[in-house]
Amino acid sequence: MKRKFYPLYRKMDPVESKKGAVWPRREMHEFAKAIVVGDLAFLSGVSVEPGEAPSGEALEQIEVIVKKLNSALQDIGLSLGKLVKHTIYVKQGEDGHAISNKFHDVCYQYAPILRDEPDAGTMVYVSGLGLDGMKVEVDVIAAYTD
């Protein structure tokens, strides 16, 4: 089965993807923003960049993350309504219940269908995330199905 590679989104020098979308070039190690295998799209963990959530609070971060997930899914022809699985990584000490509620509330704004047809979800508490100040990261799987 053939895989489609979509470069990671970063605010760097643009590079054109095979689908014609312009993505900024990554300066660190390469990994995919998304990999599509068959009818499934696997998105890498999405988090906030410095300055994207000025308060630094986890609830603000999850709101920004859902907006970025929606945009990333749209870039590859999907939407939040096509989620089949999500994993929320929460830094220890943060309120996972409140973060999960906020994640779902914001997702419902973009994809009301998730209220009646929810995706599977997992929450994992971690001791740290990739950058200082990150309190939440989310990765998702979505499907190109009706």
pLDDT tens digit at each of 146 positions of the chain? 556 655 554 444 444 444 444 444 444 445 568 888 889 999 989 999 888 888 889 999 999 999 999 999 998 899 999 999 999 999 999 999 999 999 999 999 999 999 999 999 999 999 998 888 899 999 999 999 86
Domains in the chain, number = 1
- Where in the chain does DSSP place strands (E)? 3-7, 14-16, 22-24, 32-37, 40-46, 83-91, 120-126, 136-143
Q: Residue 13: which CATH number? A: 3.30.1330.40
CA-CA-CA-CA dihedral for 117, 119, 120, 122, to nearest 10: -130
**Angle, CA of 99, 59 and 28, to the nearest 5°:** 95
* Residue pair 78/144 in contact by the 8 Å Cβ criterion: yes
* Structural domain range at position 9: 3-143
* Residue pair 111/81 in contact by the 8 Å Cβ criterion: yes
- pTM, to two decimals: 0.81
